[in-house]
């Protein structure tokens, strides 16, 4: 795409965003009621009356707890895209969802699309060494499928199972690191809101 065209799209996006914001502010200014009173004119209107100056020195522990919350909250939020993407790996084991072409060497469009979503750039039928007992079971249960197609379908399902297990182990290790970090800050007392005050009182005695 030409750089000028890209710049035009960016400028159009910015202009539409600014226009959307301006129109909403204008509509709100025109239609909202204007009833000033003492409560609405207060600086702090969350149900708690303001006492003293607004320039209050917060305990540093407040920011430590806030940062810890943000860190762990964001890290746990990574579970959702992980589960969305790698949760699809188990669909490779479902013949009703994905299958292999009759020649046993070509994936169906559904299998190709799913593998590309999982990060495989050039999806192909995985090559596994199939145990003779598995071959016998496939021969007995293949139905109208050819043996090559049944073996290829088994290989695709095996790849999906291994990928799902690897993803679970990977995320379990990630979660274990989070728990170790959480246990560390807990043991240090960083989650104890009044630790500094308690230490000062103990030292004073």
Q: Model confidence over 103-145: pLDDT tens digits?
A: 666 777 777 787 887 777 787 777 778 888 877 877 777 777 7
171 part of a folded domain:
yes
Which whole number is the average pLDDT over 19-36?
90
Gyration radius from the chain CA atoms? 30
Residues 6+ apart with CB under 8 A from 158: 126, 128
Distance (Å, whole) CA 116 – CA 94: 17
Q: 21: pLDDT confidence band, cut at 50, 70 and 90?
A: very high
- pTM, 2 dp: 0.55
CB 75 within 8 A of CB 178: yes
| Domain housing 93 | 79-188
Query: What per-residue confidence (pLDDT) applies to 134?
Result: 78
> In total, how many domains does the chain have?
1
Task: Identify the residue whose tokens are 């226009």.
Answer: 19
Query: What per-residue confidence (pLDDT) applies to 189?
Result: 77
Query: What per-residue confidence (pLDDT) applies to 197?
Result: 54
44 part of a folded domain:
no
176 part of a folded domain:
yes
42 part of a folded domain:
no
54 part of a folded domain:
no
pLDDT greater at residue 110 or residue 166: 166
Q: 188: pLDDT confidence band, cut at 50, 70 and 90?
A: confident
23 part of a folded domain:
no
Q: What are phi and psi for residue 107, nearest 5 degrees?
A: -80, 155
Query: What per-residue confidence (pLDDT) applies to 151?
Result: 77
Residues 6+ apart with CB under 8 A from 135: 147, 151
Does the pLDDT value for residue 98 go beyond 70? Answer: no
Does the pLDDT value for residue 70 go beyond 80? Answer: yes
Tallying the residues shown for the chain, one arrives at: 205
Distance (Å, whole) CA 86 – CA 168: 9
């Amino acid at each position: 795409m030409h750089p000028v065209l890209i710049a035009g799209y960016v400028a159009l996006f910015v202009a539409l965003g600014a226009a959307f914001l301006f129109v909403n502010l204008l509509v709100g200014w025109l239609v909202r009621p204007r009833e000033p009173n003492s409560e609405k004119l207060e600086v702090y209107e969350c149900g708690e009356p303001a006492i003293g100056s607004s320039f209050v020195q917060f305990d540093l522990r407040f920011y430590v707890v806030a940062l810890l919350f943000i860190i762990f909250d964001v890290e746990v939020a990574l579970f959702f895209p992980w589960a969305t993407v790698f949760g699809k790996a188990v669909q490779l084991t479902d013949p009703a969802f994905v299958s292999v072409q009759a020649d046993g060497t070509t994936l169906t469009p559904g299998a190709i699309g799913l593998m590309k979503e999982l990060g495989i750039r050039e999806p192909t039928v995985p090559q596994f060494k199939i145990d003779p007992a598995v071959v016998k079971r496939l021969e007995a249960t293949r139905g109208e499928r050819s043996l090559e197609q049944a073996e290829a379908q088994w290989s695709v399902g095996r790849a999906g199972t291994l990928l799902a297990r690897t993803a679970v182990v990977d995320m379990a290790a990630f979660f274990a690191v989070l728990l170790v970090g959480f246990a560390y800050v807990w043991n240090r007392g960083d989650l104890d809101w009044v630790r500094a005050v308690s230490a000062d009182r103990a030292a004073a005695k």
